[in-house]
Amino acid sequence: MEFELTGQDADTRARSGRLRLRSGEVETPAFMPVGSRASVRGLTPGRLRECGVQMVLANAYHLALRPGAEVVAQLGGLHAFMGWDGPLLTDSGGYQVFSLAGHRVITEEGVQFRSPVDGREVFLGPRRCMEVQNLLGADVAMVLDHCSPYPCDREPAEAAAERTLRWSAACKEAHGRDDQALFGIVQGSTFDDLREASARRTVELGFDGYAIGGVSVGEEEHLRRRVVALTAPMLPADRPRYLMGVGFPPDVIAAIGDGVDLFDCVAPTRMGRNATAFTPGGRVRLRNSGLRADRRPVQDGCDCPCCRLYSRGYLNHLFRVGEMLGPILLSVHNLAFYARMMTQARRAIRQGRFGQFRDGFIARYDSGKEQ
Give residue limits of the domains in the chain.
2-265, 273-367
What is residue 93's three-state secondary structure?
A: coil
Q: Which residues contact 54 (CB under 8 A, 6 or more apart)?
A: 24, 26, 27, 30, 32, 86, 87, 339
Look up the pTM and report it. Answer: 0.97
Give exposure, 324-340, as e/b (b: 16+ Cβ within 10 Å). eebbbbbbbbbbbbbbb
Q: How far apart are CA 291 and CA 340, in angstroms?
A: 25
For residue 11, what pLDDT is reported? 95
- Annotated catalytic, 91? yes
Please count the other Cβ atoms lying within 10 Å of the Cβ belonging to residue 269. 25
Strand (E) or helix (H) holding 28? strand 24-28
**C-alpha of 215 from chain center:** 12
For residue 75, what pLDDT is reported? 98
Q: Which residues of the chain have pLDDT under 50?
A: none
- Catalytic, out of 9, 91, 251, 258: 91
Please count the other Cβ atoms lying within 10 Å of the Cβ belonging to residue 174. 19
Q: How far apart are CA 156 and CA 189, in angstroms?
A: 10
- Catalytic, out of 118, 153, 264, 294: 264
The residue among 262, 221, 267 whose CA lies nearest residue 243 is 262
Q: Which residues pair with 7 in a beta bridge?
A: 16
- Annotated catalytic, 303? no
Q: How far apart are CA 125 and CA 133, in angstroms?
A: 12
Contact 283, 370 (CB under 8 A): yes
For residue 371, what pLDDT is reported? 65
For residue 333, what pLDDT is reported? 98
Burial class (CB in 10 A: 0-12, 13-18, 19+), 146: buried
For residue 156, what pLDDT is reported? 96
Q: Which residues pair with 25 in a beta bridge?
A: 20
For residue 370, what pLDDT is reported? 65
Tell which CATH classification among 1.10.3720.10, 3.40.50.261, 3.20.20.105, 3.40.1010.20 matches the domain 2-265: 3.20.20.105
Contact 183, 264 (CB under 8 A): no
Contact 25, 101 (CB under 8 A): no
Contact 208, 180 (CB under 8 A): no
Instruction: Give how far Cα 42 sits from Cα of 48, 50, 75, 89, Å.
Output: 10, 14, 22, 19
For residue 117, what pLDDT is reported? 80
Contact 284, 298 (CB under 8 A): yes
